[in-house]
Chain A
Amino acid sequence: MLAQGVAAAEGVTRVQQSDGSVQVYDHTNIQLTGDTLRLRSPDRKGVLYVESGACSFVGSLQRCLPFMTTLHQHGETHQIALEHGAVYMNLTDSAHHMPHSSQRLEPHAVLVLLHTARGTFVSVKGTMDAAK
Chain B
Amino acid sequence: MMHRISLGACALAVAIALPSLTVAAPRSGGYPAAGGAVRTTEPVFRAAPPAAAAPQARPAPPAGGGFNFNRDIAPPARPAPAAPPPVARFAPPARPAPVAPQPNRPAPAYRRAPNTNASGGQYQGRFIGPIVRNPHAPGGTWGWNHGVAWRPAPVYWGGGFWGAFALAALSDALLFGSVIDDQDQLIYPSYQIQPDTPGWDLLQDYELQQTPCGPPNLVVIWGPDNSVICAVPNDQVGPGNYQVDPSTFTLVPAQ
| Residues in chain A within 8 A of chain B (CB atoms) | 12-15, 17-19, 21-27, 35, 41-46, 48, 52-58, 62-68, 71, 73-74, 78, 80-84, 86, 88, 98-103, 111, 113, 116-120, 123, 125
**Which of B66-74, B86-94, B101-109, B178-186 touches A?**
B66-74
The minimal Cβ–Cβ distance linking A44 to chain B, given in whole angstroms, is 8
Interface string of B32-74 (1 = CB under 8 A from A): 1111011111100000000000100111011111111101110
Given the known inter-chain contacts A56-B150, A99-B8, A111-B11, please indicate yes or no for A24 contacting B40, CB distance below 8 A: yes
The minimal Cβ–Cβ distance linking A25 to chain B, given in whole angstroms, is 5
| Residues in chain B within 8 A of chain A (CB atoms) | 5, 7-12, 14-18, 21, 23, 31-35, 37-42, 54, 57-59, 61-69, 71-73, 145-146, 148, 150-156, 159-161, 164, 166, 168-169, 196-198
CB of A103 within 8 A of CB of B40, answer: no
CB of A84 within 8 A of CB of B67, answer: no
CB of B15 within 8 A of CB of A125, answer: yes
CB of A25 within 8 A of CB of B10, answer: no
Known: A18-B71, A71-B73, A111-B14. 10 other contacts (CB 8 A): A12-B18, A26-B39, A42-B32, A43-B34, A48-B67, A58-B196, A65-B156, A88-B11, A116-B72, A119-B71
The minimal Cβ–Cβ distance linking A4 to chain B, given in whole angstroms, is 19
CB of A15 within 8 A of CB of B68, answer: yes
The minimal Cβ–Cβ distance linking A110 to chain B, given in whole angstroms, is 11
CB of A45 within 8 A of CB of B10, answer: no
Task: Tell me how many residue pairs across A and B have CB atoms closer than 8 Å.
Answer: 202
Q: What CA separation (Å) do A27 and B38 show in the bound complex?
A: 9
Give the residue among B12, B14, B54, B64 with the most A Cβ atoms within 10 A: B14
Given the known inter-chain contacts A55-B148, A64-B153, A65-B156, please indicate yes or no for A42 contacting B15, CB distance below 8 A: no
Q: Which residues of B contact A116 (CB under 8 A)?
A: 69, 72
CB of A111 within 8 A of CB of B15, answer: yes
Given the known inter-chain contacts A17-B68, A46-B62, please indicate yes or no for A41 contacting B32, CB distance below 8 A: yes
6 A-B residue pairs with Cβ-Cβ distance under 8 Å, sorted by A, are A24-B41, A62-B148, A71-B72, A84-B169, A99-B7, A100-B12
